[in-house]
């Protein structure tokens, strides 16, 4: 019994140590200042369980609202670290913007982060008059793991029949910045020759609240069938495809093939709103973004897809200082203006 207790304690301390290491502050993001033309206020909603930051540019020319989910592997970052970036988005889009400081795994694994984003959308629609927005003009936006949450929340909003019964308007558009969209296959395309150690950890923390499924992430052997997108929009000559098709007939682990965990697994994207997707050529998850854009377009959804060849993952932090980041900020703002008039 003492041996078991010691082992459990060591495992717990190792888990805490690993999470603390992943959450080491990114001082660069904390030093970046918010846009001077954007005011902000912090609120707590849903019985003080969800923290949000509301950004209001001095010049508002669009009565829509952006709900933003920040990146950081679900585990690491907070809305505070995206303070500068989101303020620049609000300024460039000239819209009220809400940044969701969703509760993070491993303390709060799936579905809590997703539901925090989803609830924030509903809160914004219910409080539209107070916020000075049109509840039918909601844009869901996010980067990296936040792009995953934004896309999943958009799908959840579409699928929730109770919202339709109570006349909640659909999501008007989604903007996904180098999003994480699947854990079906890490053995092909842009994943090859990349160190995926942390990505597997993030997925396991998000879905299980611990590292118990680290080895399963990206291993298609867990699937009982091949995702529809894989046989439709993925290059038939992708490296490793034949091997993965054979292994895909094996059983799947809980959550790993859940569309609300990984939106690329959606069998029918019909009804999803116009979508902007930015991918990075150097990124391990580049193919996620490309396949999602191709799959939506194949199913009749309006898609604006861009791919940047020189930037590294996370470069959109730097809207206030980096010309390349500012370029794509202008692009996504133009997309928002076209679809949220």
pLDDT at position 20 is: 82
Q: How far apart are CA 51 and CA 70, in angstroms?
A: 13
**H/E segment holding residue 99:** strand 96-101
Q: How many whole angstroms from its chain centre is CA 323?
A: 24
Cβ(336)–Cβ(139) under 8 Å?
yes
Mean pLDDT along residues 134-146 = 98
Report the number of secondary-structure helices (H) and strands (E) in the chain: 12, 8
pLDDT higher than threshold 60 for residue 2: no
Who contacts 217 (Cβ-Cβ below 8 Å, separation ≥6)? 183, 186, 196, 199, 200, 203, 204, 256
CA atoms within 13 A on the CB side of 241: 12
pLDDT at position 319 is: 79
pLDDT at position 272 is: 96
Cβ(79)–Cβ(48) under 8 Å?
no
pLDDT at position 253 is: 43
DSSP 41-66: EEEEETTTTEEEEEEEESS-----EE
Q: How far apart are CA 80 and CA 63, in angstroms?
A: 25
Mean pLDDT along residues 176-205 = 91
pLDDT at position 301 is: 97
Question: Alpha helices of 181-285 — where are they, by DSSP H?
Answer: 197-208, 228-233, 241-247
270-311: per-residue pLDDT in tens?
899 999 999 999 999 999 999 999 999 999 999 999 999 989
pLDDT at position 95 is: 97
Of all residues in the chain, what percent carry a pLDDT higher than 70?
A: 84
Who contacts 67 (Cβ-Cβ below 8 Å, separation ≥6)? 97, 98, 100, 117, 120, 121, 124, 138, 139, 140, 141, 150, 153
Cβ(52)–Cβ(42) under 8 Å?
yes
pLDDT at position 87 is: 96
pLDDT tier, 265 (very low <50, low <70, confident <90, very high otherwise):
confident
Of all residues in the chain, what percent carry a pLDDT higher than 90?
A: 63
- Look at 229 and 268; give whichever has higher pLDDT: 268
pLDDT higher than threshold 50 for residue 9: no
pLDDT higher than threshold 60 for residue 5: no
pLDDT at position 162 is: 86
Q: How far apart are CA 317 and CA 77, in angstroms?
A: 12
pLDDT at position 225 is: 66
With H, G, I as helix, E, B as strand and everything else as coil, classify residue 145: helix
Residue-averaged pLDDT of the chain: 86
pLDDT higher than threshold 50 for residue 247: no
């Amino acid at each position: 019994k003492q041996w078991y207790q010691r082992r459990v304690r060591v495992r717990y301390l190792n888990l805490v140590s690993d999470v603390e290491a992943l959450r080491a502050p990114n001082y660069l993001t904390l030093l970046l200042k918010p846009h001077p033309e954007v005011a902000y206020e912090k609120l707590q909603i849903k019985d003080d369980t969800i923290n949000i930051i509301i950004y209001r540019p001095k010049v508002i020319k669009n009565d829509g609202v952006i709900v933003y989910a920040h990146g950081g592997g679900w585990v690491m970052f907070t809305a505070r670290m995206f303070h500068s970036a989101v303020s620049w988005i609000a300024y460039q889009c000239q819209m009220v913007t809400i940044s969701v400081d969703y509760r993070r795994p491993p303390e709060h694994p799936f579905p809590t982060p997703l539901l925090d984003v989803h609830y924030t959308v509903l809160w914004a629609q219910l409080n539209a008059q107070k916020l000075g927005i049109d509840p039918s003009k909601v844009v869901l936006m996010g980067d990296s793991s936040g792009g995953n949450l934004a896309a999943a929340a958009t799908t959840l909003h579409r699928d929730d029949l109770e919202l339709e019964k109570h006349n909640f308007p659909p999501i008007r558009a989604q903007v996904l910045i180098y999003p994480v969209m699947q854990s079906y296959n890490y053995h092909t395309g842009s994943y090859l020759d990349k160190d995926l150690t942390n990505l597997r950890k993030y997925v396991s923390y998000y879905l299980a609240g611990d590292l118990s499924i680290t080895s399963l992430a990206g291993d298609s052997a867990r699937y009982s069938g091949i995702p529809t997108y894989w046989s439709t929009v993925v290059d038939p000559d992708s490296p490793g495809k034949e091997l993965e098709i054979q292994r895909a007939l094996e059983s799947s682990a809980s959550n790993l093939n859940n569309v609300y965990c990984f939106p690329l697994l959606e069998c029918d994207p019909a009804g999803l709103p116009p979508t902007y997707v930015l991918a990075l050529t150097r990124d391990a998850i580049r193919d996620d973004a490309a396949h999602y854009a191709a799959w939506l377009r194949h199913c009749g959804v309006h898609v604006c897809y861009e791919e940047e060849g020189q930037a590294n993952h996370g470069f959109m932090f730097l809207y206030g200082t980096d010309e390349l980041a500012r370029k794509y900020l202008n692009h996504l703002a133009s997309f928002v203006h076209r679809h949220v008039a």
